Amino acid sequence: MVSSFTLVTRTTASVEQLFELSLSIDEHMSSMDRSRERAIAGVTGGSIGLGETVTWRARHFGIWFTMTSKITHLERPGCFVDEQVRGPFRLFRHEHRFALEDGKTVMVDTLTIASPILGRLAERAILVPYLRRLIRRRNEHLLRVLAAAPSGNA
């Protein structure tokens, strides 16, 4: 089974600033302090680029997980995609899109996931809400770093 969701974040920060900050390994780790997420291999600091990988180690649901992601697509400053190449999911794909609409930057995160053990019902009831909260928290962190107040999340 495959589940997907989209999270839209609007801000006054520039598309370019938000795009670049979204590629920051350091800011990702800062935003995930609750799960003690750390980059342990590949690109472990600074900005990640096309074709590069990062291996994350984090604690979720009281269990330590390790996941390696690769940037499989990057078009500055409009879009990039990271996908799991090794880890706990059957499928994990995170598409990040950035655009200017009505004078505001709109960041659209689309996650597509498939659990190796849980069925679609468990993905929808447990994983999707959990990941939605993680991404929302990450985006709020990025906006704080840019000192830009969100103009509304959808």
Q: What is the pLDDT of residue 1?
A: 77
Q: Give pTM, 2 decimals.
A: 0.91
pLDDT digit string, tens, across residues 3-36: 999 999 999 999 999 999 999 999 999 999 889 9
pLDDT digit string, tens, across residues 35-86: 999 999 999 999 999 999 999 999 998 999 999 999 999 999 999 999 999 9
pLDDT digit string, tens, across residues 83-111: 999 999 999 999 999 999 999 999 999 99
Q: What is the pLDDT of residue 150?
A: 47
Q: What is the pLDDT of residue 149?
A: 44
Query: What residue ranges do the domains of the chain occupy?
Result: 3-153
Q: Which amino acid makes up residue 121?
A: L
Output the CATH code of domain 3-153: 3.30.530.20
Which among 60, 109, 52, 50 is positioned nearest to 89, based on CA atoms? 60
Q: What is the pLDDT of residue 151?
A: 53
